[in-house]
Amino acid sequence: MKTIAVLTSGGDAPGMNAAIRAVIRYGIHKGCKVYGISRGYKGLIEGDLAEVDLRSACDIIHRGGTILRTARCEEFMTEEGRRQAATVLRVFGVDGLVVIGGDGTFKGARELAKLGVNVVGIPGTIDNDLPYTDYTIGFDTAINTVLDAIGKIRDTSSSHERISIIEVMGRNCGDIALYAGLAGGAEEVVIPEKGQDMEKIFRELLESKSRGKKQSIIILSEGVGEAHELEKQIKEKTKMDSRSTVLGHIQRGGSPSAFDRILATKMGATAVELLIQGKTARVIGIRNNMIFDMDVEEALGVIKKFDSETYELIDILAN
């Protein structure tokens, strides 16, 4: 019998619980003993893990956040911290570890593998900033949350004939802004990949006003600037009434979408399969609707190709 353990690390993302459920239940189905580790690498270093059973995964598939909780851990950035983590896994007889998180979590997994730990990573982050995979768990739910907010803000901004700036998460990756902007019919998206050409935005707002358009939605990615600042500049440069909304952490919460639950469930089961086969230093992804795995180092080296077609389409349809 194999013993496997699962943790969630970095920022939480809707769908992490569905992945945890799949690891627990698929692992037990395959005859494994399964441990749940609390608070990511921090809990691992502290030996905060307990065996889980089929009932531990009850009633969690629809819940946002992570029942294992999550943390960021400075100590794990040191060789000493990681050696302590590897020792804890040895003491508990863990043969394989599943980590669910973003690029930082994967870097940690790569280092743990170098210490002889069998580890497999599942991409869980709302930012969709892991270029080796088409989608990360949580991204679909997050853009649906943003879409819901766009719809509500659109109601009030069209009633008042205003410009609405909506600041969304994503750090250095503009995917949340780009795809929520496309789906929400935004007039402008301001994303790190394209930088900040404010003069273009002011010009286009004035042009659309002259065509009789009375309201516009601008989606601003947090990696580019602040919504309040953009609101001030628009008022100054265009004399148009504008309001800004920072969506913040509502984007991280909520019940996962069907897409995220399906993705998380398939990835969770695949992670267990890989560990049973004795694989290590692998991360799971989805490309062209196919689940696949690849080496963690290779995955971390993949450069994101900017989706300029989508960006240009938003511009064309904004008329």
* Residues of the shown chain interacting with ligand ATP in the complex, contacts defined by CB under 6 A: 9-11, 41, 72-73, 76-77, 101-105, 107-108, 111, 125, 127
Q: Which amino acid is at 140?
A: D
127 has catalytic annotation: yes
**Among the options 53, 59, 95, 127, which is catalytic?**
127
**Which residue, 12 or 193, is less far from ligand ATP as judged by CB?**
12
CB of 171 to ligand ATP, least distance (A): 7
236 assigned binding-site residue: no
C-alpha angle with apex 48: 46 to 54, nearest 5 degrees? 160
DSSP for 287-319?
ETTEEEEEEHHHHHTPPPPP-HHHHHHHHHHT-
How many of the other CB atoms lie within 10 Å of CB of 277? 11
CB of 233 to ligand ATP, least distance (A): 29
Q: How many CA atoms lie within 13 A of 6 on its CB side?
A: 35
User: What are the angstrom distances between the C-alpha of 32 and each of 94, 158, 272?
Assistant: 10, 56, 9
Q: Which two tokens stand for residue 6?
A: 């699962």
186 assigned binding-site residue: yes
**Which residue, 74 or 199, is less far from ligand ATP as judged by CB?**
74
88 assigned binding-site residue: no
**Which residue, 14 or 184, is less far from ligand ATP as judged by CB?**
14
**Which residue, 26 or 76, is less far from ligand ATP as judged by CB?**
76
161 assigned binding-site residue: no
CB of 316 to ligand ATP, least distance (A): 32
214 assigned binding-site residue: yes
65: left (phi over 0), alpha (psi -120 to 50) or beta: left
CA 319 to CA 312: how far, in whole Å? 12
CB of 272 to ligand ATP, least distance (A): 21
- Residues of the binding site for ADP: 21-25, 154, 185-187, 211, 213-215
- Residues of the binding site for substrate: 125-127, 162, 169-171, 222, 243, 249-252
Mind telling me the catalytic residues?
127
